[in-house]
Amino acid sequence: MGRMAEWLYRDELALAELNVARAALQVARSIAYPALDIPAYMANLYELSETAAAAISTGLPVIEQAERLSALLFVEQGFRGNTLAYYDPRNSYLNEVLDRRLGLPITLSIVYLEVAERLGIPAYGIGLPGHFIVGVHSAQGDIWIDPFHGGHRVDLSDCADLIRMAAGYEGPLEASWFAPLSGRDILARLLSNLRSSYVQASSWSDAAAAIRLLRETQPEVVEHLRDLGLVYYQQRRLPQAAHYLNSYLNRAPDAADARVIRDGMRNLLDEWVVLN
């Protein structure tokens, strides 16, 4: 069990549900900010919660509380989606989001969820294909909020547009997409975003770090073995690449890409022999 897995396991033993904000900060410290002061950033979130608590009456209907929280975070406090540099890895690090007030749908949602929880607003994360939003339970029915686009409420039609723009999908929406995500699932999606950002930038070492944490967060997902092998290959770390790709084939011999991986393994091993 790696250090991240041990930390996650301890956290889940102590709490009914993983604290996603603290886990996100742990990710930042593990990959890019080794001296990160996690308690200081948790205190920052606490101060945001205190500001929100002073401005939002608990006597209001839940929907109105949720909308006022959106206005406080995404208007008064200035949190916003980074549309100009969407794939900047800093958008996926919660410490940077808190410092810069810029982020991705998922990191802005994590800020909202953390503050909402402290205020007793029953909010939850929703992982739509290509876009992350927040849901809020209420007696009048759930509402959906899009933190990346100013914290505005969205409906099914809006969600279809968000999915189409982000993922190119134009088919029917699936009810399962709107189900509340667990803290571990949110953390895995955050790490997947980091992996994608670093792969796009050909920053292979950082991509490998993100995938290693993904493996610890989702040990049952065999595709992380494949991805780690491919990233090690890009780094020309051929023994490591061969190890992880072979592990992937052993665990998923009938995978759709198994034949392609096997063919690539032959070339990889040929390269390895030449180097030795």
For residue 114, the model assigns a pLDDT of 97
- Per-residue confidence at 70, pLDDT binned at 50, 70, 90? very high
> Which residues touch 13 (CB under 8 Å, ≥6 apart)?
none
Q: What are 144-185's pLDDT values in tens digits?
A: 999 999 999 999 999 999 999 999 999 999 999 999 999 999
Taking the model in full, what pTM does it have?
0.91
Distances (CA, A) of 227 to 5, 179, 199, 222, 257: 19, 27, 10, 9, 12
Mind giving me the DSSP string for 123-152?
EEEEEETTEEEEEE--TT--EEEEGGGTTE
For residue 7, the model assigns a pLDDT of 53
Alpha carbon distance 62, 171 (integer Å): 32
